[in-house]
Amino acid sequence: MQSCIDCHTKETPSIVAEWKRSKHSTSMVSCLMCHGVQHTSAKDVDKAGTVKPELCIMCHEPQGIQFAAGKHAMAWKAVQTLKEAHWQPMAFIEGIKGCDSCHKIGFKSEKEIHELRTEGAGFGIASCDVCHTRHSFSVEEARQPQTCRVCHRGFDQPLWEMYASSKHGIRHALKREGALPENTLTPTCQDCHMQAGDHGVKTAWGFLAVRMPMPEDKEWAAAQTTIMQALGMLDPKGKPTPRYQRIKELDLARLTKEDWQKERDRMKKTCLECHPPVFVDRLFENADRMVMESDILLAKAIRIVSGLYKDNIVAKPWNYPYSFPDFFAVHDARTPIEQKLYLMFLKHRMSAFQGAFHTNPDYALWYGLFELRVDLAEISALDKQLRASAKKRK
Ligand code: HEC
Ligand code: HEC
Ligand code: HEC
Ligand code: HEC
Ligand code: HEC
Ligand code: HEC
Ligand code: HEC
Ligand code: HEC
């Protein structure tokens, strides 16, 4: 039998070259350790073994345990479980252009792997290689903030953009360019989110920026309740729904005080490595207030749209369970007022609070809070127009 490497040096020379650069090549982790021995020629390529994260974890247990406890392990399940986000045609969701290209990260069942290989993108099962790119599987590459940029960027989470133009990111860039020395202090995404190499990424507020128990401030608590109603987590009476249960299972939000505080404390510890406690406490206080300010504006807008559904002025889509907009069905928005509301939720509120936490006042204020105010003014004006023309029709 011709060896894997002999034949692949001809067939896929760049893969062999990358593998030769990896620590695996010098540690006896050869092709067949990951792909098996079933495939031996060009005729039986379909027999080559699929690499799952479970395989990497067999040899890298500590990272595996951490990874399993974090949010990345859930990314795949989140899009599979929240079918509401899937009202759109599947062709858009599957494959390289859709949700999978970012959400492929995480554990999958044998059935899902089979489907991905035969009908879906056909790649991206191993998960660990989103940061340790095959076949060099490098630690150095995974340590660069650009690694996270592939997914954490753009429309609803411009985290790379915020970081790159923040004090921290700019200093990092200057260091990379050689303008500042190698030992220049400045944190990367990994320093803050993967402290001491911890693979279990998770934050206090998460992506949705809702939590339990409710904040003490009454107006803020009312706003968070309204937002959770639009997320379908609470019913119109404020009682948890079946979706609340699913969100809990997927760990989409921290739903106990301890859970939330644990992540907050972990994060603060990182800042304290370089900044004094007074500075850090005030920063987090301010950023939490930015969540509050944004919530109050968004909640007002939700109540307006909800009122239009209740009064039958805008038809409530059939698939929304309550007289509330359903933020998980973003792609369904039909009328300009609903579309505005989704922008508020998915773009401007995200910018406001993500910018505040990523020390980027430009995103927090101009792309965030300011836009939210403009949105609310426009939604209020549209509400008046819609109600006036409904009256005329009667
Ligand atoms: C005689 C040549 C030959 C030998 C020996 C060989 N391969 Fe391949 N292998 C190929 C060819 C040709 C392809 C298809 C490449 C392409 O898509 O262009 C392939 C594809 C693959 C793939 C990709 C499968 C997929 O689903 O796309 C993997 C993984 C792989 N080989 C691993 C191995 C391993 C591991 C061994 C040793 C046990 C091995 N190969 C031995 C020729 C060979
Ligand atoms: C540490 C595990 C590991 C080792 C060692 C390894 N591979 Fe892979 N290989 C992977 C992963 C992970 C993928 C991506 C699979 C996916 O996305 O479904 C992959 C994919 C491939 C592919 C498909 C083309 C591509 O890049 O998507 C080929 C061909 C391949 N490997 C050949 C080899 C050959 C030849 C060797 C030895 C020189 C080798 N592999 C060693 C993990 C490994
Ligand atoms: C058969 C065991 C085995 C498997 C399977 C395996 N590795 Fe490794 N891996 C090793 C060994 C051994 C080393 C070298 C350890 C060292 O030198 O400290 C290593 C090193 C690494 C490193 C550190 C590289 C560096 O530059 O320091 C990373 C990252 C890594 N592996 C990721 C992966 C990923 C991702 C997978 C799955 C696609 C995987 N490994 C599968 C055994 C394995
Ligand atoms: C392949 C795409 C991809 C890459 C690359 C990636 N992530 Fe993620 N990340 C995701 C997805 C998808 C989620 C959401 C998972 C979920 O909520 O189910 C996520 C979640 C997170 C979370 C949890 C946020 C929360 O809700 O609390 C943090 C923190 C995070 N990633 C940081 C990073 C860092 C740091 C890097 C780079 C070292 C990185 N990610 C690289 C796709 C990626
Ligand atoms: C460019 C990469 C990318 C694409 C494409 C993408 N997502 Fe995401 N998505 C992410 C990241 C990264 C997160 C995590 C953000 C965070 O936790 O702050 C996320 C979070 C989510 C969450 C919330 C998870 C949580 O923990 O709150 C859901 C649900 C979701 N995405 C669904 C989808 C659906 C459905 C699609 C396709 C229509 C999609 N995503 C397309 C990268 C992407
Ligand atoms: C979100 C990006 C990301 C993902 C996904 C990821 N890693 Fe890592 N990994 C890193 C970073 C960053 C480091 C370097 C940590 C440090 O600086 O100590 C690292 C380090 C490692 C190391 C080297 C540890 C050491 O001390 O030398 C191994 C081994 C490893 N990862 C394996 C894995 C395995 C296995 C998976 C999948 C279960 C995985 N990684 C998924 C980013 C990632
Ligand atoms: C200086 C530390 C720091 C750096 C650097 C940093 N973050 Fe964050 N990140 C935070 C803090 C603080 C939060 C909010 C934590 C909380 O909820 O209490 C956060 C929240 C997040 C979240 C979850 C909520 C959201 O905004 O969607 C993700 C995902 C995330 N960061 C990814 C990244 C990525 C990717 C990078 C690099 C491009 C990065 N972060 C750089 C500190 C940092
Ligand atoms: C590895 C060290 C390091 C870590 C960790 C770190 N920072 Fe920084 N930070 C710096 C440096 C250095 C500066 C630039 C100092 C300056 O602006 O005078 C800076 C600047 C800042 C600034 C801008 C201050 C100004 O004067 O404009 C803010 C805000 C900030 N950091 C917040 C945080 C927060 C919040 C965390 C934790 C989530 C954190 N930093 C973690 C090193 C760090």
DSSP 258-322: HHHHHHHHHHHHHHHTTS-HHHHHHHHHHHHHHHHHHHHHHHHHHHHHHHHHHTTSSPPPTT-SS
Q: What is the pLDDT along the chain (394 residues), one digit of tens a residue?
A: 469 999 999 999 999 999 999 999 999 999 999 999 999 999 999 999 999 999 999 999 999 999 999 999 999 888 887 766 555 544 455 554 577 788 889 999 998 888 888 877 777 789 999 999 999 999 999 999 999 999 999 999 999 999 999 999 999 999 999 999 999 999 999 999 999 999 999 999 999 999 999 999 999 999 999 999 999 999 999 999 999 999 999 999 999 999 999 999 999 999 999 999 999 999 999 999 999 999 999 999 999 999 999 999 999 988 888 999 999 887 778 899 999 999 999 999 999 999 999 999 999 999 999 999 999 999 999 999 999 999 998 7
Atom nearest to 6 CA in ligand 1: 5
Atom nearest to 67 CA in ligand 6: 38
Q: Is 79 in the pocket of ligand 5 (CB under 6 A)?
A: yes
**Rounded distance from Cα 140 to ligand 5 centre (Å):** 26
**Rounded distance from Cα 352 to ligand 8 centre (Å):** 19
Among 71, 254, 291, name the best residue to mutate to test ligand 4's pocket (greatest count of ligand atoms within 8 A of Cβ): 71
Q: Is 70 in the pocket of ligand 5 (CB under 6 A)?
A: no
Proximal ligand: closest to the CA of 64 = 6
Residue 320 corresponds to which amino acid?
Y
CA geometry: angle 145, 146, 149, nearest 5 deg: 105
Q: CA–CA separation, 211 vs 12, rounded Å?
A: 49
**Rounded distance from Cα 60 to ligand 3 centre (Å):** 7
Q: Is 41 in the pocket of ligand 1 (CB under 6 A)?
A: yes
**Rounded distance from Cα 5 to ligand 5 centre (Å):** 38
Q: Is 45 in the pocket of ligand 1 (CB under 6 A)?
A: yes
- CB distance 36 to 49 below 8 Å: yes
**Rounded distance from Cα 175 to ligand 3 centre (Å):** 28
Delineate the domains of the chain, giving CATH numbers in brackets: 4-142 (no CATH), 144-201 (no CATH), 202-393 (1.20.850.10)
Q: CA–CA separation, 178 vs 198, rounded Å?
A: 28
**Rounded distance from Cα 204 to ligand 5 centre (Å):** 17
Q: What are the C-alpha distances in Å from 137 to residues 15, 57, 392?
A: 12, 14, 66
